Amino acid sequence: MGLDWKILLLAHLLATGLFLAFNLRNKTRLRAMTEAAIVLCVPVAGLTILCLFKLAGNVLHLWDIHEAEDEGEGEVSFLGAPVQKDVVPLNDAFLVEDKLQKRHFFTESIKQSLVDNQQILRMAMHDKDREIAYYAVSMLTSRMENLEGELFDRESKVLKGEQQEDLPLLKEYAGLLKEYMGNKNFIDHVTWRKKQEIYVAILDRLTRLMEDNKIYFREEVEQLLQLPDYPGAEQVCEDFLSRYPRDEEPYLSFIALYVAWKKPDKLQECLRRLKALPIELSPEALRVIRFWDKGAARDG
């Protein structure tokens, strides 16, 4: 009787081991170990149920729907979401621990022109993997060279008087300037400052020529704060407010100005006017109000 018990136990352990080995070939390690634990803890019934479940899944083609933790051929899982290898988001590629695999995802994305987020590329410039850093620098350098050509073409039309009131051209030129200036590490200080002055001038024209121009008002204020030109930014805020007296955006620009300019009295007055607006404030405006109300309470 004791021998029969030992034989059954060995058979059960062998069956569990075989089940685990089979599962490891096409399942994640965590899932394979979990299912093996069920088989081990529920003798006979556990193995029977799981085998029937897998058989039914194959017969009914249930596995055609990819589960979050499955790693089938040609795909990889990041944070529980299945992603095809040729369309791995670059943010997810940084999560891969395997050096060669991460490099593959990154370089393939670049080769296939799937990378548009320059902020991620700028982050990749400092990656400890030199090949990834090299590819990121190469791509940004190439893009900067193309941008310089595109900017020169637009400048010849915009700055020399040709098609001055062409709004699509002005908007495109402003977008190119913003992208160009975003890569400050690739531009010498004098060139960057010159482009910023041109950018401010283009934004000023767009705020005057366009009806829906809130984004250009806010961008112009932000650029003037970087210069810094606080009186100029205040004038733009005044123009912004005169155009949109019942909207919150001008007040948010005023708040950014008075914070940078260190004018607490004007800041508090602007906050009071923002609270008094007869509109439902956005989450952004409410966060700003709560932040400065806490600051005022702490200082008071």
Architecture of domain 211-294: Alpha Horseshoe (1.25)
pLDDT band with cut points at 50, 70 and 90 for residue 108: low
* Segment 234-257, tens digit of pLDDT: 999 999 999 999 999 999 999 999
Q: Give the confidence band of 80 by pLDDT, cuts at 50, 70, 90.
A: very low
* Res. 84: pLDDT tops 50: no
Residue 85 has pLDDT above 80, yes or no: no
pLDDT attached to residue 89? 57
Residue 12's pLDDT band (cuts 50, 70, 90)? confident
Least confident of 67-71, 191-195, 285-289: 67-71
Please report, in angstroms and rounded to a whole number, the separation of the first and last CA atoms in the chain.
Answer: 84
pLDDT at 2: 53
Q: What is the pLDDT of residue 271?
A: 95
pLDDT higher at 143 or 176 = 176
Please, what is the average pLDDT of the chain? Answer: 78
Question: HEC string of the chain?
Answer: CHHHHHHHHHHHHHHHHHHHHHHHCCCCHHHHHHHHHHHHHCCCHHHHHHHHHHHHHHHCCHHHCCCCCCCCCCEEEECCEEEEHHHCCHHHHCCCCCHHHHHHHHHHHHHCCCCCCHHHHHHHCCCCCHHHHHHHHHHHHHHHHHHHHHHHHHHHHHCCCCCCCCHHHHHHHHHHHHHHHHCHHHCCHHHHHHHHHHHHHHHHHHHHHCCCCHHHHHHHHHHHHHCCCHHHHHHHHHHHHHHCCCCCHHHHHHHHHHHHHCCHHHHHHHHHHHHCCCCCCCHHHHHHHHHHHHHHHHHC
Residue range 2-24: mean pLDDT, rounded: 73
Higher-pLDDT residue of 283 and 58 is 283
Q: What confidence tier does 215 reach under pLDDT thresholds 50, 70, 90?
A: very high
Domain ranges of the chain: 31-49+68-78, 88-185, 211-294
Pairing mode, strands 81-84 and 75-78: antiparallel
pTM of the model: 0.59
* pLDDT tens, position by position, 149-199: 888 888 887 766 554 568 888 999 999 999 888 888 788 889 889 999 999
- Average pLDDT in the 259-288 region? 95
Provide the pLDDT for residue 130: 78
pLDDT at position 161: 57
Give the pLDDT confidence score for residue 289 in this predicted structure: 94
Q: Tell which wins on pLDDT, 250 or 68.
A: 250
Distances (CA, A) of 67 to 37, 62, 89, 106: 20, 10, 19, 25
Question: Which pLDDT value is given to residue 73?
Answer: 41
